[in-house]
Chain A
Amino acid sequence: MAATSMAAALAASLPAPEAAPAPAAPTYEAIPASMSKAIDIEAEIPLTCVQLDGLVVAKILKHTRESTSSSAHGLLLGLDLDGTLEVSNSFPLVHHSSDEDDKSSKSAARYQASMLRSLKEVQSDDSVVGFYQATTLGAFFNQSLLETQAVHHEKLRHGGIVIVHDLSQAARGNASFRAFRLTRAFLEAHKKLISHRLTFSSILEEVPLKIRTSLLLSSFLGTLTETSRSPLADASPASATSSLLPPSFNALNLGTANVTRNLEQIIEAVDSYRTEEGNLAYLSRQIARERAKADNYVAKRQEESAARVAQGLAPLPEEDVSRLFKIPAEPSRLESMLLLGQIDAHAKNLSGTASTGLVKMHAARASSGV
């Protein structure tokens, strides 16, 4: 109780209440008692749910479909209220090439800042809460996603979330959006993975996601889906009723075009995993060799020095072994772990396709009466 009242006091005194919804105006009114529980300046209330606005859903769909590269990404804007992160707007980010120089990252930052400023002028939410990322066939684990997310984690309230949208699943008839955030364990172990007993399944944790349409949007969608009867009395059954959004049966499509690509991607991922494992094995062999050399040297020296002591001479002076032998640093296993995660995701997607395919085939057989 003391904490919330302190939070309320803080809310009234802070110059920029970035997440306080009630006192948006510069004159700080007293926060109503009903709201004081929901306001937390220090982001103390943990996120339990992410709520995605219909507009954001449509924007992400459009951007991910239109972008030529598979890594379409953008920023999510919104605010959090009483444990629910409400994402109300989004905008795409410029796709920059892999060899990212200083100039392009600077211009990207400028673009972001001026977009946020512009959106603020038309009363949109302007606090960044995370980003979205497109993916195909279920695999979204990669270094850049984790890096971006780790960078965001330091800057954003609640560490930011990432929303993943699967394009191939949308084409199959299931528009899927999932929200993730980095687990605490991963953040602590960002550098030294093994000692923290992490596998790919414990890097990201999924946050429940809800989709919400504003009342205005709901009513408008209602008008869009309304069916109207054709004015002609004797119109053919095909054109008797018309609607802007006729029902679609995409989900029942028997085509298995994606399976081949999915299999190809699994093979690719397995190949790169093997390469990565080979690299790791080579590195660890090298480490072992260097270490053995160093140990040998130390043992020899100790022997010598023991022999000298036995002969009544002064022992050899202590030497810094680590300067003589360069033992390579332990390699990072993040990449191989992520590749495993990718393989897993692809395989999961494949088994999903297979299981729905099975159902569809039996349905087709039942309906054709074979």
Chain B
Amino acid sequence: MSTVPSSSSAAQNASAATVAPRTPSLVTIHPVALFSILDHYLRRTDTQDRVIGTLLGTRSDSDVVEVKSSFAVLHSETSEQVAVDMDYHRTMYELHHKVNPKEVIVGWYSTGSNLNTYSALIQNFYSQETAPHQAIHVSLNTGVVQGEKAGVQAYVSSPVGVFPKPENCVFTPVPVELKFHEAERTGLDLLTATAADASSTSSQPVADLEILEKSIQGVSDMLDRVLAYVRSVVAGEIKGDAAVGKYLMDTLGSSTEDLEKGGFNASLQDTLMISYLANLVRSQAEVSSRLALTASS
């Protein structure tokens, strides 16, 4: 019963999409795309004020555009004209397409946050590349100019004026989010830890236990902080916050029934067993590799 109206509305949506695809309402960016842009900016020539490039990604059924990666494109800007190396753009797109066929052109990026006539012209070019969908423009402020904050902005454009011209358009901001998979999270943690280091380097590989130690240390520090807060509230030095109190109760009052019922010991035995097995296998492997040497010599 309910399928009929929903399918008809889907059909309506589809027909609407063929006429004019929906304007993106959210842009998500993968960190790799941002890092590539920063690298490109570092490698610009002296004469270049800003660098531009193509954004690759996917469009979901809804109006979310996911930017997954980016590559640099050659361009030159003078006071009279702007030129984008379209051949280069095409070649690079084809190369990327071979490895990752799911990613299509979704728009373009530039560094710096000023939008000008040239931006409109380049936007016009990319709109042809992404038709019938709208091209998005991501501007990344690298924070190099003093007084400007580093950040990312995304825009969609719409023509302006009674007779639309390619050099005139309105850039409408679209919300941007950083998006990545949970498994990549650890890589980002590694990079942020590296960045925080004074020498901007960190050595690899790190042992599992070391990371675990750091995490436990972090948790223990947090517990100390909470404990200090609770003690000072109890002592009457600070006025307690009811919201914080409730939050603490929710977090710390979790059930430990399973552990009490001997679950801990059973689990401990399993883990020790696995550890024993692993070491046994390793020594066996070592022995057989030595035996293989003696057997045939």
Contact = CB atoms under 8 A, between A and B. Distances in A.
B184 A65 contact: yes
A215 B190 CA distance: 16
B259 A209 contact: no
A48 to B, nearest CB: 12
Interface in A142-173: 167, 169-173
A340 to B, nearest CB: 5
A124 B292 contact: no
B163 interface: no
Interface of A is mostly: helix
A357 B271 contact: yes
Contacts of B215: 173, 249, 251-252
Given A214-B42, A249-B215, A237 B243 contact: yes
Given A114-B95, A355-B208, A370-B260, 15 more contacts: A55-B35, A122-B43, A174-B186, A176-B205, A178-B204, A178-B205, A210-B204, A250-B185, A252-B212, A270-B281, A337-B289, A343-B285, A351-B279, A351-B282, A354-B278
Nearest to A195: B297
B191 A57 contact: yes
**Looking at A221, A223, A368, which has the most chain B CB atoms within 10 Å of its CB?**
A221
A65 B183 CA distance: 8
Given A177-B205, A214-B42, A66 B282 contact: no
Nearest to B85: A121
Contacts of A357: 271, 274
Interface stretch (B7-15, B26-34, B116-124): B26-34
Interface of A: 51-55, 57-59, 61-62, 65-66, 88-89, 91-94, 111, 114-115, 118, 121-124, 167, 169-178, 194-195, 197, 199-201, 208-225, 234, 236-238, 244-245, 247-252, 259, 263, 266, 270, 284, 333, 336-337, 340-341, 343-344, 346-348, 350-361, 363-365, 368-370
Interface stretch (B16-24, B131-139, B141-149): B141-149
A114 B282 CA distance: 45
Given A65-B183, A209-B204, A237-B244, A123 B45 contact: yes
Interface string B272-291: 10110111011001101110
Contact of B281 (A66, A93, A347): A347
Contacts of B202: 210-211
B259 A348 contact: no
Contacts of A172: 208
Interface in B27-73: 30-32, 34-36, 38-45, 68-69, 72-73
Interface of B: 30-32, 34-36, 38-45, 68-69, 72-74, 88, 91-92, 95, 98-100, 142-144, 149-151, 178, 181-192, 194-196, 200-206, 208-209, 211-212, 214-216, 218-219, 243-244, 247, 254, 256, 259-260, 264, 267-268, 271-272, 274-275, 277-279, 281-282, 285-286, 288-290, 292-293, 296-297
9 contacts: A118-B91, A175-B186, A210-B201, A214-B38, A222-B195, A224-B178, A245-B188, A350-B278, A355-B275
